[in-house]
Amino acid sequence: MEDEQQRMSIDNEKVQKLGDDICRYGLCIRQCDANVVSLKIKQSNIELEMSNLGAWNGLDSFHDLVYDKDVILEKIEGKADSAAAVIYKLLRSPKPEQLYLKYAHDILGVVALLGEVQTHKLSSMLSTYLGEDQMLAVVCKSRAATRALEINQMDGNVNCASVLDILAAKLGISIKGQYMVICLEDIRPYKQGVSSDPQRELAIPQPTLSNRETPPGFLGYAVNMIFLPEEYLQFRTASGYGLRDTLFYHLLGKLQVYKSNEHLYMASSCIEDGAVSLDGGMMRGNGIVSASVGSEDPYILFPIICLERQLLLSPEKVERLKRIEELKLEQNQLQDRIQEELRNEAKYKKKLAKKLMDKKQIDDQFEDALLRIVPEAPLMHDPSLNQGGQTSSITFAGNRDIIQNRTAEAVSCHSKVKLEDAIEETGLQIKHHDDNIKFLEGQKNRLDDSILDLEAALAKTYSASGTGSENKESSNGQNEEETIEQILSFDKSAAAICVQLQKRTGAQITNIPFMKDIVGIVALLGKVDDDNLSRTLSDYLGQGTMLAIVCKTLDGLKALETYDKEGLIIKSSGLHGVGASIGRPLDDRYLVICLENLRPYTSEFIADDPQRRLSIKKPRYVNGKTLPGFLGFAVNMINIDTDNLYCVTSNGHGLRETLFYGLFSQLQVYKTRADMMQALPFIAGGAISLDGGIIKSAGIFSLGKREVQIKFPKSCGRSYIPENYFETEIRMKELKWERVRCVEDLEREQTLLTNAKNNFEIRKEEFVKFLSQSSSHL
């Protein structure tokens, strides 16, 4: 009998859980129905608006407005002082001089004109992702042609008599600024195979989520969405590889393309080399950099695959066609959402049916168990009716009443035991959380005492060494102030807004939640010892990355921008809202680096190095000698404030192994361009030289010169501070990090304790109510 009661207790818990699940699935089904109705109404409104716009224009698509090669070429030649313009004037010249003819034949052209895409949206996003420098990069077949484009004097300065400068002079042009040259011979091609279709798309496996399904909204890999024109389709390098396997795979890698920003974020777990969405979302290198939606298309775009006709349209018609494109994209997104809601509804209905069947089975078993608990009452026969073989109906009714009374008693006893067990379990939970809180409070107090002791020791050491006044005079602190002023000169940039906010203190920024998650601006998070190194490193990263905002978490990144239901930026919230409130309205695209999404350096650090430099193997000849002119790796030549060396992320990582390793990886630094070019076979992750030479990566060279506006500031001299000062500072940083984790645990336990106490009061009220009801039936 005890076994039956125990089984009834377990079954009763199952019934309660099944009841909760049934209610939840029912609500989910109703919500799905409501969502489908709402989405279909929006879809009808879109169809009506599209119908009206289409009837007005008499056109099907904004893609009828073709950006063909001639349009893009005119834009390139319009940038008359660029290397790209010189190259195309040379290639289009009917009678190039014999002296330069071999170089002309060895130059393919500019990246922007070597491929086409199907839609304007895709062209805009891929062009934005690559940036104008790479879109205008000159592509050469051989290393000889690459080196011939620019000859350098011994001091590293660009020789005014170089081949490209002579050609520019003959055409009446003077090349200004920096330009990139890509050598196909030096690029590592994709070697995992291609498809058999005429375009020879790369055989890259589809991305998959944890459930082994392709992410919703995935359109394809960008490298396979580039259409190679017929004149370049049959091109092969000396090793037998085409443009897709070499050039576009090197530029785009496994960049994924999604329908919407929402789809992009849903698939973030399976994004390796970055992703873009057709509505403006962008993520670089496994989420390294996320970009805001910009308001304008890039100036240089990939051409759109030519249609049979081009239309001359008025500005009003152009706007209507743009609106049609937006509506089509929105319509597709709505259709995807409707299908998703219908799939969810079917899934919930299937689960609901199963839960209802399980509940029915348990109910049947429960009734049988109750009857087995109650012993059978002896049947009483009326002797006067024995002759007729009939049993008294009154006797049977009496037996049934006995069974029902005993059943009610069993149920009441079972409910009482269950309530008592629930109260006891909740009481144990309260004690457990209370013990945890006492332990964490003690740990927090010990950490507070240790931090206070270390702060006092630091203050004493700092005062005894007399660094207060010396640092002001000799640390060249002006350099950082100059960098800040340069950032603020970009008055409507995201970086300027953040710097201005960080200069405020106290209550002025406590009402801006995302500021707590911002570590700073890239240009202000590192310092260097040499001005030439500062200039070249800053040039290598580019102004956009130097002005990038660095956040700790993905939640902090998302808080910078919020979107409405149509996917448009809400200008009154996030960084846009704050910028407008301080007179710095934000309109341009900006970059954000999320430390939480970076893959940190996980190998060893240089032993006993206060700056925690990475132990990266130096390039050497076969005989073990170091390469001439090699100075080190860029990631180790950045000096980082002690506060940012440890425990910046929730996993305890610092900025060197996350931010700067993500930006520089194994970028090598050499004394001169000549040293760098001599070491070319040993360079895999790029290189720079102190005289301005830049190799972005294998096969991509940055030539010429340009003014660098935003630079890393110079390091402050602190060599006279005792060595144990830095060790103490680092230890205090670690203790503060531990305290933050301890406070988080304490807050979590206090929340759990409050919930447990509330549950205890509810259980107690239920038990008192049960006892009151039970006594009324006695």
The string of pLDDT tens digits covering residues 272-286 is 888 999 888 888 875
Residue 317 domain-assigned (yes or no): no
Least-confidence region, from 43-47, 109-113, 771-775: 771-775
pLDDT band at 408 (very low <50, low <70, confident <90, very high): low
The string of pLDDT tens digits covering residues 233-266 is 888 888 889 999 999 999 999 999 998 888 888 8
Nearest CA to 762 out of 427, 457, 443 is that of 427
- Shared-domain flag, residues 57 and 82: no
pLDDT band at 660 (very low <50, low <70, confident <90, very high): very high
Q: Residue 323, SS3?
A: helix
Higher pLDDT, 400 or 186: 186
Range(s) of the domain holding residue 366 = 2-61+322-373
- Shared-domain flag, residues 48 and 70: no
Supply the angle between the helices 163-170 and 83-92 in degrees, to the nearest 10: 70
Q: What is the pLDDT of residue 531?
A: 86
- Shared-domain flag, residues 614 and 644: yes
Q: What is the pLDDT of residue 91?
A: 72
Which of 260, 283, 310 is the last residue before a domain boundary?
A: 310
Residue 384 domain-assigned (yes or no): no
Q: Under a CB-based contact definition with an 8 Å cutoff, are residues 52 and 324 in contact?
A: no
Residue 639 domain-assigned (yes or no): yes
pLDDT band at 511 (very low <50, low <70, confident <90, very high): low
- Shared-domain flag, residues 536 and 645: yes
- Shared-domain flag, residues 332 and 304: no
Which of 259, 287, 310 is the last residue before a domain boundary?
A: 310
Judge whether residue 1 has pLDDT over 60: no
Question: How many domains does one find in the chain?
Answer: 4
- Shared-domain flag, residues 367 and 408: no
Which of 259, 278, 310 is the last residue before a domain boundary?
A: 310
CA distance 77 to 85: 5
Per-residue DSSP letters for 230-281?
HHHHT---TTS--TIIIIIHHHHTT-EEESSHHHHHHTGGG-SSEEEETTS-
Q: What is the mean pLDDT of residues 594-609?
A: 85
Residue 605 domain-assigned (yes or no): yes
Q: What is the mean pLDDT of residues 549-563?
A: 84
Q: What is the pLDDT of residue 245?
A: 92
CA distance 108 to 456: 66
Q: What is the pLDDT of residue 95?
A: 53
Judge whether residue 11 has pLDDT over 90: no
pLDDT band at 410 (very low <50, low <70, confident <90, very high): low
Judge whether residue 33 has pLDDT over 70: yes
Residue 289 domain-assigned (yes or no): yes
- Shared-domain flag, residues 93 and 111: yes
CA distance 255 to 274: 5
Residue 391 domain-assigned (yes or no): no
- For the ranges 70-74, 523-527, 553-557, the maximum mean pLDDT occurs at 523-527
CA distance 255 to 287: 11
Average model confidence (pLDDT) across the chain? 77
Q: What is the pLDDT of residue 501?
A: 83
Helix (H) or strand (E) holding 53: helix 2-57
CA distance 469 to 457: 19
Judge whether residue 523 has pLDDT over 70: yes
- Shared-domain flag, residues 241 and 366: no
Domain with 333 in it: what CATH number? Answer: 1.10.287.1700
- Shared-domain flag, residues 416 and 565: no
CA distance 526 to 541: 13
Q: Under a CB-based contact definition with an 8 Å cutoff, are residues 682 and 627 in contact?
A: yes
Q: Under a CB-based contact definition with an 8 Å cutoff, are residues 128 and 294 in contact?
A: yes
pLDDT band at 368 (very low <50, low <70, confident <90, very high): low
Q: What is the pLDDT of residue 257?
A: 94
- Shared-domain flag, residues 14 and 129: no
Q: Which long-range contacts (CB under 8 A, 24 or more apart) does 765-768 make?
A: 766/419, 767/419, 767/420, 767/423
Q: What is the pLDDT of residue 207?
A: 92
Q: What is the pLDDT of residue 562?
A: 78
CA distance 191 to 241: 9
Residue 471 domain-assigned (yes or no): no
Q: What is the mean pLDDT of residues 16-28?
A: 81
The string of pLDDT tens digits covering residues 44-73 is 888 777 766 654 444 444 444 556 788 888
Residue 387 domain-assigned (yes or no): no
- Shared-domain flag, residues 244 and 172: yes
Tell me the residue type at 293: V
- Shared-domain flag, residues 361 and 459: no
